[in-house]
Amino acid sequence: MDGCPSGLEISEQKIQLELDRRRPGQSKITTQRKESDKVRILSGVFEGKTLGTPISLIVDNVDAISKSYEDIKDTYRPGHADFTYDAKYGRRDHRGGGRSSNRETVGRVAAGAIAKKILSLEGIATHGFVRQVGDIVAENVDFQEIENNIVRCPDKEKAAQMIELIDKVRKEGDSIGGTVEVVSTGLPAGLGNPVFNKMDADLAGALMSLGGIRGFEVGLGFKVSGMKGSESNDLMYKDANGNLRFKTNNAGGLLGGITNGEDLVVRIAIKPTSSISKTQHTVDKSGNPKELRVKGRHDPCLCPRAVPIAEAMVNLVLVDHLLQSKLARI
């Protein structure tokens, strides 16, 4: 991780807290693979504070059972990048998906923990949560509730229904999709850029770079397609403290790619896990038909573990813009 200012207090413990939220095996509705995901700081931190030079972190693999993958060496798993990696590179490491494995998000979450720390110094906090699983949609959003349930839903009642649904799907050997929403509070107006590196463009690029994401929204998102300008424009007013504010937040906190001081609100659509235990029909490298029942231990729903990952991506984009914003004026 390059570009972190010097003098920031950082510890392996703080980073570990976030990794533990992402870790496999944390509950009955996640994969049962056991990875301790212990992070070690190799460089860039000295006597508890960042040096300003690159921070190198390492997380060793423990529970990689390569032989689970041996019998699917030449078989293209549905929904996975096996075929496209072969198409691009002419070869691939079939053991666990390699770069296309969700495992690469360990690094994102670790880096995000450092970003989170910097943002906290300016009073910025980011809250990710599961908004939807299957056809169950959270209605009440209580940030305090999120980490109280294993699905990370801010609506206690809906959380229970989501957990039940995921568990049911898991028993069927299937998987289920959902959406994750991320809300950042305490942002100053003025973060982002015109045309190139708009805040929304950077957030979209960052979040769509995760595996299994099929859509990105800011504010009302696709709902604006059916609206009129007189309905969707957020109108301004001066509040009791003399601050210019917006009466609504349809825009999700951004205007012209720049924060407007309201909460930043983004949402991603996450596909059902591709690896399922149900029998699927596919082909091998030579096009021979194959029947596949994925034996690995996989998440029945990607959403709960996607929450800390999505938070990390948002925090990484925000911290970049926060730092750069110091250069906007002479």
Chain positions 286 to 305 lying near its own copies, rule: CB under 8 A, are 287-289
Instruction: Tell me if residue 89 falls in helix, strand or coil.
Output: helix
Interface with its own copies (CB under 8 A), residue from 1, 26, 41, 134: 134
Q: Does 260 bind its own copies (CB under 8 A)?
A: yes
User: How many other CB atoms are found less than 10 A from the CB of residue 161?
Assistant: 18
Interface with its own copies (CB under 8 A), residue from 32, 34, 63, 84: 84
Residue 128's closest CA among 319, 313, 322, 320? 313
Q: Does 228 bind its own copies (CB under 8 A)?
A: yes
Q: What is the largest CA-CA distance in the chain?
A: 70
How far, in Å, CA of 66 to CA of 57, rounded?
Answer: 24
Structure token digits, residue 53: 């030079």
Residues 22-41 as x/- pattern, contact with its own copies by CB under 8 A: --------------------
Q: Does 67 bind its own copies (CB under 8 A)?
A: no
Q: H-helix or E-strand containing 238?
A: strand 236-238
Q: Does 236 bind its own copies (CB under 8 A)?
A: yes
Q: Does 112 bind its own copies (CB under 8 A)?
A: no
Q: Does 237 bind its own copies (CB under 8 A)?
A: yes
Q: Which is nearer to its own copies, 21 or 103 (CB)?
A: 103
Q: Does 120 bind its own copies (CB under 8 A)?
A: no
Q: Does 219 bind its own copies (CB under 8 A)?
A: yes
Range 202-208, long-range pairs (CB < 8 A, 24+ positions): 202/317, 202/320, 202/321, 203/266, 203/313, 203/314, 203/317, 206/313, 206/314, 206/316, 206/317, 207/266, 207/268, 207/310, 207/313, 207/314, 208/268
Q: Cα angle vertex 213, ends 102, 282, to 5°?
A: 75
Tell me the window of 17-25, 141-149, 153-161, 187-195 that interacts with its own copies (CB under 8 A).
Answer: 187-195
Q: Does 6 bind its own copies (CB under 8 A)?
A: yes
Q: Which residues between 139 and 178 bind its own copies (CB under 8 A)?
A: 169, 174-178
Q: Does 64 bind its own copies (CB under 8 A)?
A: no
Q: Does 62 bind its own copies (CB under 8 A)?
A: no
Residue 127's closest CA among 178, 177, 181? 181
Interface with its own copies: number of residues (CB under 8 A): 130
